[in-house]
A and B are shown apart, each in its own frame.
Chain A
């Protein structure tokens, strides 16, 4: 083969590779631009916002303060109380949401006629819109026509305006909304457990209770860890339920003011974009840590697989 021929082939190969790469970038472009405009740009813009202090009165220009307001916001009683409320909310929602989901998954994990209908029902809260279900719960918790008056209980102040009961009430709804996803995660986990291993345990002398706690739960532990992380992120990001059930005007507002809602009210009602940006970054970092934990546990899950 002549050297010239080899050279021209190499050129042809390179130009083909270039063309393919070009086509690839072209195909990615639409998705990339949508992400860019709605995700990446706001994400980075937020960091910039955090460096500017909003004026005390709207309409005046905001001015650059660098990291000065970061410490101020993160040590403010408003932020700290919001953080405490958020963690309280997480504690109310995560264990309950996972346990109810696990219970339903165990109940539905058997070969019975018509069990598929139950599976659909149990997982249906995943596809129910937050607004719709919040309105349903709002009616249920209504002090005049709700569930409690119907039962003959009329607390004063009403549940959704009570500084004590407003947060648990929102948590109940959040748990209800999360059950669907929890059920799906737990069902998938149960299905990955070998039937023969459970049978072996029964033959080895274990009662149903022992089989569940000594075999099913340990084998489900990667799923449970995964569920904890997903549920925690879910609880951290709960917004619609709070906005619709409680809202900014409510007497109990201060007591349900979780981080996400605080960011929203700070920006929309307080018109303080700098402060909201700092809190957003704090929320982002908390969620990031949780996601990293999740990745580690998924690795563990792979180890279990035989």
Chain B
């Protein structure tokens, strides 16, 4: 068991910076999810830990030992690949036995551990088959078994569920979580799927352009996104982000509000107090904090309505063509396309971000 520490890790490919001065600690026994869009550098981070890529700057340590110059075979980690990467010429049992053989574990103990792991992940009856004869879900289980058979310091998982169909993915997701909880092995899990990130991770690290945007428990990242990227990336659809300015205020004015295209956005007193420190913002509001209401403070026209069964997304456009998504229950009256309507903003759901840096302005 061991924690994984990145300090100032940078990786470049030619002129492209894939990983940019990343500093991050994965605690002992934790399941940390690296979440980001494709090409953001999350897989590179994982491969750096595995030793499959060499880093250009910084240090990575596993279990307190700096591994910059340690060969992959000596890092005592196990990896689950997106393609599963099973050995096609070996049977399932031999595949799982492979890492044990490499470590010179005696024959009898190898057999015992392979049997044990196969029954634990429910593939005992597949022992004699070759990977080519297995379904996607079965291969995934073999890959998982090969990783856990060795009791390594850490698991590295690179989008292990992305090749499974939806139903199997939900099932396997739960299996991995319970397995990780039982084994308490430090796990670094890469995905671009935010549902996986939200449901699996003790913490998530949101990555974009090779930089860590935010590290926090999943709900925190959703409730208090550190910047506009996290705000827009988490949630489906993401947070609405509107260019906003602080409204005019007389000396006796009460709570301040923000002026945006098509109307105003009310603020809570706490947020109003910090808003006075600047003049321009990005205002963030999640679709569920908006509602269609004749007394609303924003005017917008409907572009499209997406019915999702239990709810509907009303996609509107403000006069400056910024799109705003409103989430409403399916039984509510559904506005027609092109219709002009008013939107009410719940002040509690308003987030403020710096107009230039995109960083969150905390309401304290």
Of the four ranges (under 10, 10 to 19, 20 to 34, 35 or more), the interface on chain A belongs to 20 to 34
A194, B73: Cβ atoms closer than 8 Å: no
Query: 1/0 per position for B21-59, CB-CB distance to A under 8 A?
Result: 000000000000000000000000000001110000000
Interface members, chain B 45-95 (any A CB < 8 Å): 50-52, 71-75, 77-79, 81-83, 85-89
Contact A306 B132 (CB under 8 A): yes
Indicate which residue in A206, A215, A218, A303 contacts B73 across the interface (CB closer than 8 Å): A206
Contact among A203, A206, A210 with B52 in the assembled complex (CB-CB below 8 Å): A203
- Does B287 count as interface, using CB distance less than 8 angstroms? no
Nearest chain A CB to B265 CB, angstrom units = 49
Contact A204 B132 (CB under 8 A): no
Q: Is the CB of B87 within 8 A of A201?
A: yes
A199 touches B85 (CB 8 A): yes
Do most interface residues of chain A lie in helix, strand or loop, or is the interface mixed?
A: helix
Q: Which residue of A lies closest to B52 (CB)?
A: A199
B88 touches A202 (CB 8 A): no
With contact pairs A196-B85, A197-B86, A306-B88 given, residues A203 and B50 touching in the complex (Cβ less than 8 Å): yes
Q: Do A304 and B78 have beta carbons less than 8 Å apart?
A: no
Q: How far is the CB of B362 from chain A (nearest CB, A)?
A: 41
Q: Could you tell me the distance in whole angstroms from the C-beta of B248 to the nearest C-beta in chain A?
A: 60
Q: Say yes or no for B233: interface residue by CB 8 A criterion.
A: no
Give the chain B neighbours of A219 by CB distance below 8 A.
88-89
Does A200 make an interface contact (CB < 8 A)? yes
Please measure, in the bound complex, the distance between the C-alpha atom of A304 and the C-alpha atom of B71, giving whole angstroms: 29
CB contacts (< 8 Å) of B102 on chain A: these are 204-206, 210
Cα distance, A247 to B289, chains bound together (Å): 93
Question: What separation, in Å, do the CA atoms of A106 and B234 have in the docked complex?
Answer: 45
Query: A207 → chain B, closest Cβ, in Å?
Result: 6
Contact A202 B73 (CB under 8 A): yes
Given known pairs A203-B77, A204-B78, A204-B99, the reply for A304 and B72 (CB within 8 Å) is no
Instruction: Report chain B residues within 8 Å CB of A201.
Output: 87, 98
Contact A304 B89 (CB under 8 A): yes
Choose from B51, B77, B82, B87 the contact partner of A197 (Cβ within 8 Å).
B87
Residues of chain A with a CB closer than 8 A to B201's CB = none
Size range of the interface on B? Answer: 20 to 34
Which of B51, B79, B132, B150 has a CB less than 8 Å from the CB of A200?
Answer: B79
Report the minimal beta-carbon distance from B217 to chain A, rounded to whole angstroms: 29
User: From residue 28 to 51 of chain A, which have CB atoms closer than 8 A to chain B?
Assistant: none
Binary per-residue interface labels of chain A (149-176) against chain B in the complex, 1 for a CB within 8 Å, 0 otherwise? 0000000000000000000000000000
Q: Does B266 contact A (CB under 8 A)?
A: no
What are the residues of chain A within 8 A of B52 when measuring CB–CB?
A: 199, 202-203
- Asked if A194 and B131 make an inter-chain contact with CB atoms under 8 angstroms apart, the answer reads no
Are A203 and B72 CB-contacts (below 8 A) given A219-B89, A306-B131? yes
Kindly state the separation between the CA atoms of A200 and B82 in the bound complex, as whole angstroms.
11
B360 within 8 A of A: no
Q: Contact: A203 with B78, CB < 8 Å?
A: yes
In the assembly, what is the distance between CA of A197 and CA of B142, in Å?
14
User: Once the chains bind, are A194 and B83 in contact (CB under 8 Å)?
Assistant: yes
Chain A residues engaging chain B, CB cutoff 8 angstroms: 194, 196-197, 199-207, 210, 214-215, 218-219, 221, 303-304, 306
Mind listing 28 A-B residue pairs with CB under 8 Å?
A196-B81, A196-B83, A196-B85, A197-B86, A197-B88, A199-B72, A199-B79, A199-B81, A200-B85, A200-B86, A201-B87, A201-B98, A202-B71, A203-B51, A203-B72, A203-B78, A203-B79, A204-B78, A204-B98, A204-B99, A204-B102, A205-B103, A207-B71, A210-B102, A214-B98, A215-B87, A219-B88, A306-B88
Closest 10 pairs (CB-CB, A-B): A205-B102, A200-B85, A204-B99, A196-B85, A202-B72, A218-B89, A205-B73, A203-B79, A197-B85, A196-B81
* Other contacts beyond A202-B71, A203-B156: 10, CB < 8 A: A197-B85, A200-B79, A200-B85, A203-B73, A204-B73, A204-B78, A205-B102, A205-B103, A207-B73, A210-B102
